[in-house]
Amino acid sequence: MEALNKINSTAIPFPINDVDTDQIIPARFLKESNRASYSDCLFADWRNHNGKPKKDFWLNREFSGKILVTQSNFGCGSSREHAAWAIKDFGISVVIAESFADIFKNNALNNGIIPIVLDAKYIEVTIQNIIENPEFEIKVDLERQTVEIPEVCTTTFEINEFKKECIINGLDEIDYLVNLKPDIEKFEKTLN
């Protein structure tokens, strides 16, 4: 997992409520266990029609960046971790939304994606600013837990401290434990 702390990036507007994991990555793409082969599958049924990109779909338009700004209940539906894999493989490291489904939020954190919850009033204005100016940048500082959206807000966000440490250091849970091996061995010696 790549280490993340400060992300300054343009963003992709995604003004849709209740985006479920079945749309984020349709079930027919769940055959792989390799996390790095899913970017083309992201929103496949919404992005394409008869094998051709839909020009008006948000991910096919002029918007790009490491940040996706969406509305409420993002990631609802099934618990498929592949949804987080597809988002990460597409190059998105931060999802800002009014709310997240709990399982998706945990899957995102486990895969180095920072889920940030913001008030609906901020989301609405931010999406509009991005639509009006695709070069509009948002700044996220994970260590300080702040998000800065020009002319909209600068605010803090909540994140699980353990997951925060893992993302900042580019560690998944297994890597985190492996790094504790010297301390574990030292402790084991005290038991003898």
What's the pLDDT tens digit per position in 159-182?
999 999 999 999 988 888 888 888
- pLDDT, residue 30, reads 86
- Residue 127 carries which DSSP code? H
pLDDT more than 70, % of the chain: 97
Predicted confidence (pLDDT) at residue 115 exceeds the cutoff of 70: yes
**Long-range contact list for 28-35, CB < 8 A, 24+ apart?**
29/82, 29/86, 30/80, 30/82, 35/85, 35/88, 35/89, 35/111
Question: Taking the domains of the chain in order of start, what are their residue ranges?
Answer: 6-191
Superfamily of domain 6-191: Aconitase, domain 4 (3.20.19.10)
What's the pLDDT tens digit per position in 63-87?
999 999 999 999 999 889 999 999 9
C-alpha closest to that of 97 among 117, 125, 80, 81: 117
Predicted confidence (pLDDT) at residue 96 exceeds the cutoff of 80: yes
The type of residue at 172 is D
